[in-house]
Amino acid sequence: MPIRPILTYENPRLRMKSVKVKKVDATIQHLIDDMVETMHANEGRGLAAPQIGVLLRVIVAEYQDEESDELHQTVLVNPEVLQKEGQWMADEGCLSIPGYWGTVPRAVRVTVKGKDRRGKDVRLNTDGQLAHILQHEIDHLDGTLYIDYLKSLDDLQKVEPGTRSVRRRRRDDGTYETVVVEESDAIAQPTE
């Protein structure tokens, strides 16, 4: 499972619309594995296939349950937002826009359908972190970046050196540890 390079906002591939996956086969399984590994290596919470230069409708997301503290992973192939409810202003960062974050409007709750990594139909009704991450990653599939929701690029905030945040990091053995990360050149992550 190689760690793939992440495209940054200047790359025109990030502005292209991704195509539907016709069949969830071994090639898609390898892509998903690479995406998860790449997301972990970059301490991201989500990743869309276009961010690694693959114009297919595949996303991965990882979020921490706010009550149980468990880490959950979601993989969606051909995801589609069916319904949005409510609105809030969310602080958002992106692995493709390193070193910056911005505050953008997002739905509080979303209903999303797609296929899981085995090709089985799934439907998710979710809110909180997962709803936030899914909206961000599905936008990537349509060539939309969170900066498109800003009134001006002047509204972007630079991640200040020395800023600290608490994150969950995956160990080589598959378990997780909580770490404090200093945000020198790190990427801003979505917060609530």
pLDDT in tens, 34-45: 999 999 999 999
Q: pLDDT at position 163, please?
A: 57
Among candidate residues 62, 92, 137, 183, the one labeled active-site is: 137
Q: How many CB atoms lie within 10 A of CB 11?
A: 14
Coil, strand or helix at 17: coil
For the residues of 21-80, what is the DSSP string, one character each? PS---HHHHHHHHHHHHHHHHTT-SEEEGGGGT--BSEEEEEEE-TTT--EEEEEEEEEE
Domain of residue 70: give its range: 12-182
Distance CA 110, CA 107 (A): 7
Tally of residues, the chain:
192
Q: pLDDT at position 30, please?
A: 98
Is the pLDDT confidence value at 59 over 80? yes
Question: Is residue 65, in this structure, part of any structural domain at all?
Answer: yes
Question: Is residue 77, in this structure, part of any structural domain at all?
Answer: yes
Question: Is residue 106, in this structure, part of any structural domain at all?
Answer: yes
pLDDT in tens, 67-120: 777 889 999 999 999 999 999 998 999 999 999 999 999 999 999 999 999 999
Question: Is residue 7, in this structure, part of any structural domain at all?
Answer: no
User: For position 141, which CATH number holds?
Assistant: 3.90.45.10
Task: Count the domains in the chain.
Answer: 1
- The average confidence (pLDDT) of the chain is 86
Question: Is residue 190, in this structure, part of any structural domain at all?
Answer: no
Average pLDDT (138-142) is 98
The residue whose two tokens read 């739905």 is: 107
Question: Is residue 192, in this structure, part of any structural domain at all?
Answer: no
Question: Is residue 2, in this structure, part of any structural domain at all?
Answer: no
Is 137 a known active-site residue?
yes
Question: Is residue 158, in this structure, part of any structural domain at all?
Answer: yes
